[in-house]
Structure 1
Amino acid sequence: MTYRNALRRALAAVIVLPALAWVAPADAERAPATLAMLDRIAPGQWQVHAREAGGFEGRLCLAEGRPLIQLRHPGQACRQFVVQDEANAISVSYVCGQAGSGLTRIRYENDQLLQIEAQGIAKGLPFSFNAEARRLGNCTAR
């Protein structure tokens, strides 16, 4: 991905995310989202590998799939708004106050493989990445 394309995607996130945050609460009031697809993700150690430079890269020990929503805002208490909640794909917009915001889409391929797309603002800077998450096995003790 070129720098120009990354910048366009990041700028789109700045424009689109506030709109999604404004629309999503009404959707959430109609039917509570369960994000059941995330419950199908097997616990264990997962390797997240970005397809382009500057994306999220690392190993995560997951008890469940919800931490994958906020890879660029780990452990932060953010307001989340479900945009899409289907059997094999979810999209969640989230706002973390001054820490930033994001929009994450996770697609379930199988119990060992996920596709992740994320964009937003973290530490005052735009981010946008596509990544693949593969389950490596059980978590190892440190």
Structure 2
Amino acid sequence: MSQIRLTKQFNFETGHALYGYDGKCKNVHGHSYKLNVTVIGQPINDRNHVKNGMVIDFSDLKKIVKEEIVDQFDHATVLNKTTPHIELAEELIKRDHNVILVDYQPTSEQMIIDFAEKIKARLPKEIQLHSLKLQETETSFAEWFASDN
């Protein structure tokens, strides 16, 4: 049976700041992220199965990624909880802002690692996460491949 890769793209708006960075990104700013999620598996080959012919229903993949990533990160501000940004985070939280505190520098590289772990944990056992592409700007993106990890 053939292995097939399926990709679904997601969009979300997220703010962040890179504490200790030596450029403009040390300031709170935002991006219109595009996340491509690619899974790999074999199509179901059972005429009696409601998902016959599918590796995974795109709506099932959408549910996983929306719940784990998009619904959490969209219109949120992501800050490293181990930096002085914690004071800014606490103030924003008091003002009812959506703030996500992470234990890493919220770069595209670190966010994509976090996203990979969250998505892998939710996929059915017969479906593997193949790759992720997190596009921060029109010309800049990070990629994660299962084969590299």
Greater strand share, structure number: 1
Quick check: which has more Rg, 1 or 2? 2
Q: Same fold (TM over 0.5)?
A: no
Sort the TM-score into its range (normalised by shorter chain).
under 0.3
TM-score using structure 2 length: 0.22
TM-score using structure 1 length: 0.23
